[in-house]
Structure 1
């Protein structure tokens, strides 16, 4: 299943944007950026939307090998106390944690690679055997070199990014640097200034989910701004009894009708990963239909910046 099919599945409960609205959103976002994005959006490569379909948003890291463990390296029992905070308060604490974790991290060099290791669990909605994968990926920081990514155990070799890569969502560090780190500006750019209806808010929540996809390093303050922008969306809700794919107790934030759920560490508010609802398409009488619905949890286990494909950070 290709990445664009996965995007359609994950957004199955979200009313689709029209071509005009999406084009306007991208134009508005570029206007909010600090410098002009010259990427040509006339073609849409298969790997465009998710160069790796890993639900991880990483604080800025750099140097030859810089390593961070998601969740602050904390193991998970199930006896952590429940929070009395609201969904917005959890997101604000997650933003504070993101800024703390990323404050001292240097910027990666263009000739380096983003390394991630992600643990994936996929559980059928109606019950059955849970499938698991541990995927590793090496993505070129500036997109100028070939990358290697793994998705559900299958290895993909991606060529360098071409001039026809579209601008949304950004996949290179340089493009992410152009995005606003003020939460109000980011929210305005992604919502087109429209938050009055549930459909507007659902679309905005989905756009932020899209931004936070992919195993690429976030510049300082961008992930935190995204969490703060989420906190400003009316109607977000909290699930106090969530567990990520590696058993860490968490709390989750979602929006009614959206297929995405953000999971945070219950004690430290570190971002653990993303839970989604998807399905496996099958062809029936010449038409594609969605079937075999499942819940998928992607938990970021390791992230680093390394010098070459195949290099792993030391334990």
Structure 2
């Protein structure tokens, strides 16, 4: 029996996870299982495959979940920023970040013939059933996507897929008013309307969508500042009271929100020095036990602890380059 068949049988009776956790990460992991080769095809707006508890555990049980990492590069920016920043209010953190970003000069929009280069690190939960270890899934951390990736946008099946050019221009047109800005971002990244991709609550939709735009590259500093100010107004958003580690081992600020009807929280990670986007995580919010059910037989039991990282990704480097294969 091949891995994809096993995955489908294990997944058959598991509750459908919300759309925020699904594509494109699920596709990347299942491709890796089916082919046994390194997965090279990545989209410009890729997100970690934190398939909620159910699907993340299913993938871990079938594939193994250590997705690799990378050495942490040095960071530029005033070292004193991280030491003096108070992490006791998301509004204080995000408005301070916005103030800093508004002072940064805006670069020119990339040309349509240029490429967006990104290098990423990704890590998922390293535990199998009841703490057992599981094997690795490899990936290619370097990725090049055309700035004007119109052909892929037209052929893509993911409703959240947007080209770098679409995001740059949409972000620059966002209004200053947080409520209007959030409404426009929700329209840009719409919620689901089917059983497989069910609709989200307004606050969860806002946090997911704003995270997608914040992680896009490039986004003008002034536009990112408006995004951060609006993020601070989303109900349920919190800030972790200490710096956390991203998938590359670097310290980061974690803006969090517990997923509706779930035991996990989504985290958007910011650089504590210059407040740029550096990654995201899905983290267990409370202790719970999950039993995997597939077909006629019950599967293994997973005991998950509050604070356990289900999936994490870090953007190590991003740049506009003139050709595919070129690095800054």
TM-score class, shorter? 0.5 to 0.7
Q: How has the CA–CA distance of structure 1 residues 283 and 173 changed in structure 2, closer, same or farther, with 3 Å as cutoff?
A: farther
2:122 to 95, 120, 129: 120
Partner of 2:277: 271
Paired residues for 1:42-61 under 5 Å: 51-54=44-47
Distance across 2 between alignment mates of 1:9 and 1:75: 39
* Structure number with higher helix proportion: 2
Q: Which runs of 5+ in 2 are unaligned?
A: 5-10, 23-41, 49-71, 188-199, 285-291
Q: How has the CA–CA distance of structure 1 residues 290 and 105 changed in structure 2, closer, same or farther, with 3 Å as cutoff?
A: farther
TM superposition shift of 1:224: 2.2
SS in 2 for 1:94: helix
Q: How has the CA–CA distance of structure 1 residues 263 and 70 changed in structure 2, closer, same or farther, with 3 Å as cutoff?
A: farther
2:76 to 64, 73, 77: 73
Q: Does residue 161 of the first structure (1) align with residue 161 of the second (2)?
A: no
TM superposition shift of 1:75: 11
Q: How has the CA–CA distance of structure 1 residues 84 and 276 changed in structure 2, closer, same or farther, with 3 Å as cutoff?
A: closer
Q: Confirm or deny: 8 A CA contact 1:173 1:219 kept in the other structure.
A: no
Paired residues for 1:232-247 under 5 Å: 232-241=233-242, 242-247=244-249
Q: Does residue 260 of the first structure (1) align with residue 266 of the second (2)?
A: yes
Distance across 2 between alignment mates of 1:235 and 1:265: 21
Q: How has the CA–CA distance of structure 1 residues 221 and 190 changed in structure 2, closer, same or farther, with 3 Å as cutoff?
A: same
Partner of 2:169: 177
TM superposition shift of 1:238: 1.3
Q: How has the CA–CA distance of structure 1 residues 80 and 170 changed in structure 2, closer, same or farther, with 3 Å as cutoff?
A: same
Q: Confirm or deny: 8 A CA contact 2:116 2:147 kept in the other structure.
A: yes
Moved more, 85-94 or 119-128: 119-128
Partner of 1:311: 326
Please give the TM-score of this superposition, normalised by the length of structure 2. 0.57
Partner of 2:184: 189
Paired residues for 1:1-315 under 5 Å: 11=20, 51-54=44-47, 72-73=75-76, 80=83, 83-101=86-104, 103-124=105-126, 127=131, 135-144=141-150, 160-161=151-152, 163=154, 168-174=160-166, 176-179=168-171, 180-183=173-176, 184=178, 185-190=180-185, 199-214=201-216, 216-241=217-242, 242-257=244-259, 259-276=265-282, 284-285=294-295, 295-313=310-328
Q: How has the CA–CA distance of structure 1 residues 245 and 167 changed in structure 2, closer, same or farther, with 3 Å as cutoff?
A: closer
C-alpha deviations, 1:295-315, integer Å up to 9, x for none? 2221111111111111111xx
Please give the TM-score of this superposition, normalised by the length of structure 1. 0.59
CA RMSD of aligned residues (A): 4.5
C-alpha deviations, 1:13-39, integer Å up to 9, x for none? 9xxxxxxxxxxxxxxxxxxxxxxxxxx
Greater CA radius of gyration, 1 or 2?
2
Q: How many residues align?
A: 237
SS in 2 for 1:11: helix
C-alpha deviations, 1:170-213, integer Å up to 9, x for none? 32314540343224221132458xxxxx9321222122223334
Q: How has the CA–CA distance of structure 1 residues 265 and 51 changed in structure 2, closer, same or farther, with 3 Å as cutoff?
A: closer
TM superposition shift of 1:115: 0.4
Higher relative contact order (CA 8 A, sep 6+): 1
Q: How has the CA–CA distance of structure 1 residues 265 and 71 changed in structure 2, closer, same or farther, with 3 Å as cutoff?
A: farther
* Structure number with higher strand proportion: 1
Partner of 2:69: none
Q: How has the CA–CA distance of structure 1 residues 96 and 307 changed in structure 2, closer, same or farther, with 3 Å as cutoff?
A: same
